[in-house]
Amino acid sequence: MKLSNASPPFLHTDVTVMSMLGDRIFALCALLVIPTVRYGPRPLVMAGLSVLICLVCELLTGLMRKEGVPVTEWSFAVTGLVITMLMPVNAPLWLPCAACLFAELAAKAPFGGFGRTPFNPAAAGVAFATLCWPKQMFSYVDPAEPQWLPVWGECSVHTAQSAAAYLKSGLKPDILPFDMLWGDMAGPLGTGAALVIGACALLLFVRRAAHAETTLCFLAAAAALAALFPRIACSPLTSVKYELLSGSLFFCSVFLMDPVSSLHTAAGRCIYGAAAGGLLMAFRHFGAYEQGAVFAVLIANALSPLISSAVGRARGWEGSVYG
Amino acid sequence: MEQQKRASLKNEIVSLPSPEDLPAPPKIKPLKKGAAAPRILSAAEEAGIADEFDGMMLERKLSLFASRKTELLVACGFDEDPYTSGAEAVLRESAEDVAEGLWLAAKACGAKERLVAASSRREAHRFAACCTGTAAVAAGNRYPARTLLMQKLRRGGKKAEWIGVQACAALGAAVRGECRNETVVTVAGDGVRRWGNFRVRIGTPVGDVLAAGKPEKRVCLVAVGSSVTGRTVTDLSLPVTAATRCVIALKRPPRVPAHPCVGCGRCARACPAGVLPWLVHRELEGGSPEALRLFHVEDCVGCGACHTVCPSGIDLMAAVRRAAGLKEGRDLHETE
Ligand code: SF4
Ligand code: SF4
């Protein structure tokens, strides 16, 4: 028996960075099921390519930093999958790849990698793709013509306006509430099925892989603003229903509000979530694009050190200790 | 932290034969039931009873409690460490000795009230059913349960102190003139096939205790003490002491890859002393920590809960210890 020395503890709770990321990856994979059944293997190929690009970038940056191959966590897979979920299923395959390259090389690597990024890399990647290729980003296949899309090639399909686009032009979306719950509507690949997203959110909260308070405050702020300032002529409740279930709002409230390293308190996370929700509604009202969630998340990311600092000052953790 | 005690509590405590080279325990004069405090203290000293949780001699501990004017004496019949179950096993099997010993210990330190803290309500009821004169409570499973229980009792306005049930049982046995120079050690971990509690003479080599647990061939790490704050041993001839609560054999050293803090706040929630370990870590990482912002680091009880729950595997206990050193006036590199 050859015994070695080690420092305590000799047991650890089940929740580790890797398990938290694993839960996220599982939840994101669950979101791929409905698009795959509906459109064939294309969503899987898109997701696989995105994850592969992120992994290659991670390995390259590791080698460049002379850290060898430091893939001790799988945040690259989360980034790749989130980017895929925010793409139209008929988008050219290079589009998620370009977003992944930007996310990894511009939003993650320069800041030192996982846990040190001031901006959510996936949100940055999708924002980059939105700014550079808005036409491809907002062209959605018409769900009324269900068909399997070509796995690799270009998709020449009938396109349709998304619910978010209807709301942007002041019109009531012509979509049944049941279809909205199952994501049977034009929109990004993985953001439509509210029921599946809700189930994934529950899983993440129960497994402590995400903070419920951030998501709840995000949704509460967005719902309050939707009720107070409806974009279409309808009752406040109908406005809330359409705003929460359209676009990528619900998805972003669960999957883009990552644990941000500077927010250690529930109060900070509540303010952060509410700020992101409020910003998102502001983008919907005043922004140029039908989908502004990723921009709202990026601005909230930028605000998070200020929020953390304000909470810290209120509790005496920051600022001058001499009063 | 998930409790891993069921396997070791399945069977009764097994007594291991004493190594031949250890001298026989000394004979002591039976302690009379109505003995006065000084006689109880001298009997504890004569029998060489040490508290199993901190290794402190019982006579010294009780004298200290007397000087602190202790009102409530708690016998800890539970193990907060998820792997260890010796205290629970002793409370089950020697309840009367524990009650007797606690009564004597309370008398020796002048405590008016006695309480037995068990691991669960079921265990508390089980104890209360056979020892009606002593109150029993459940301590709960949250680590570190002993610190949390004592905080709760002290918040209630009581001057409360604790001793281990094995020390109580040994004092109870002194009434019969028995000198128990032994301790109950839990053997656990994925490196042993037979988890259990073993009664061994103090001084028995750790290797003999491990052998009783039928170790696997691939054991690469043996830790003694506790799974959270214990230490590894590479020399199995080292002797078991009164404070050797557990021998853990593992086939693989547990490793959580280190990552930057993800801001989950678990460390602060787990800390029983009100420390904000993430803030301490951040202050120290910054290079110029502000001592006034290292809140409560001097109250750290060294339970290791913060390190154990951190998903990023950061050694927060070490950071808090360094910070406490800083607060005491040592400079940063001295504390490293
Ligand atoms: S080791 Fe110290 S800082 Fe860490 S949880 Fe225990 S008391 Fe708190
Ligand atoms: S438990 Fe670890 S990761 Fe979580 S806040 Fe504390 S230091 Fe950071």
Q: A40-62 pLDDT, tens per residue?
A: 999 999 999 999 999 999 999 88
- Report the distance separating Cα B313 and Cα B254, nearest Å: 11
Are β-strands B182-188 and B246-250 bridged in parallel, bridged antiparallel, or unpaired?
A: parallel
Distances in Å between the alpha carbon of B16 and those of A129, B140, B197, B200? 70, 31, 10, 5
Does any ligand 1 atom lie closer than 6 A to the CB of residue B47? no
Q: What is the mean pLDDT of residues A17-23?
A: 91
Within a domain: B310: yes
Within a domain: B258: no
Q: Which residue, B122, B154, B174, sits at the end of a domain? A: B174
Region of poorest pLDDT, from A74-83, A253-262, B176-185, B192-201: A253-262
**Residue with CA at minimum distance from ligand 1 atom 8:** B271
pLDDT exceeds cutoff 60 at B335 = no
- Percentage with pLDDT > 70 across chain B: 97
Within a domain: B83: yes
pLDDT exceeds cutoff 70 at B2 = no
pLDDT exceeds cutoff 60 at A261 = no
Sorted by sequence, the CB contacts under 8 Å of residue B84 that are 6+ apart come out as: B5, B186, B188, B226, B227, B245, B246
Do residues B12 and B161 share a domain?
A: yes
Tokens found for residue B224? 């003694």
Ligand 2 center to B13 CA (angstroms) = 39
Ligand 2 center to B268 CA (angstroms) = 8
Do residues B245 and B272 share a domain?
A: no
Helices (H) and strands (E) in chain A, counts: 15, 2
Minimal CA–CA distance to A281: which of A235, A221, A323? A221
Choose which CATH entry (1.10.3430, 1.20.1250, 1.10.3470, 3.40.50) describes domain A17-313.
1.10.3430
Within a domain: B256: no
Do residues B136 and B237 share a domain?
A: no
pLDDT exceeds cutoff 80 at B134 = yes
Within a domain: B334: no
Within a domain: B311: yes
Do residues B153 and B190 share a domain?
A: no
**Which residues on B lie below 8 Å from A9 (Cβ)?**
227-229, 254, 304, 307-308
Do residues B214 and B124 share a domain?
A: no
Q: Which residue, B122, B143, B174, sits at the end of a domain? A: B174
Do residues B147 and B86 share a domain?
A: yes
Q: Structural domain of residue B312, as residue ranges?
A: 266-328
Would you list the domain boundaries of chain A?
A: 17-313
User: How far does B38 lie from chain A, in Å, by closest CA?
Assistant: 40
What ipTM, to 2 d.p.?
0.82
Mutating to test ligand 1, I would choose from B148, B295, B303, B310 the residue with most ligand atoms within 8 A of its C-beta, which is B303
Ligand 2 center to B21 CA (angstroms) = 49
Do residues B158 and B58 share a domain?
A: yes
Do residues B52 and B152 share a domain?
A: yes
Do residues B45 and B167 share a domain?
A: yes
What pLDDT band is residue A323 in, cutting at 50, 70 and 90? very low
Contact A10 B257 (CB under 8 A): no
Within a domain: B234: yes
Q: What pLDDT is stored for residue A119 in this prediction?
A: 92
Tokens found for residue B253? 């050293």
Within a domain: B261: no
Do residues B144 and B285 share a domain?
A: no
DSSP state, residue B110: T
Q: What is the mean pLDDT of residues A160-168?
A: 81
What pLDDT band is residue B336 in, cutting at 50, 70 and 90? low
Q: Which of A8, A73, A114 sits opposite B230 (nearest CB)?
A: A8
User: Into how many domains does chain B fold?
Assistant: 3
Q: Which of B259, B264, B315 sits opposite A73 (nearest CB)?
A: B259
pLDDT digits (tens, 9 = 90+) for B160-216: 999 999 999 999 998 888 887 899 999 999 999 999 999 999 999 999 999 999 999
Do residues B95 and B170 share a domain?
A: yes
pLDDT digits (tens, 9 = 90+) for B241-275: 988 999 999 998 877 788 889 888 889 999 999 89
Please name the residue that has the structure tokens 């016998």: B75
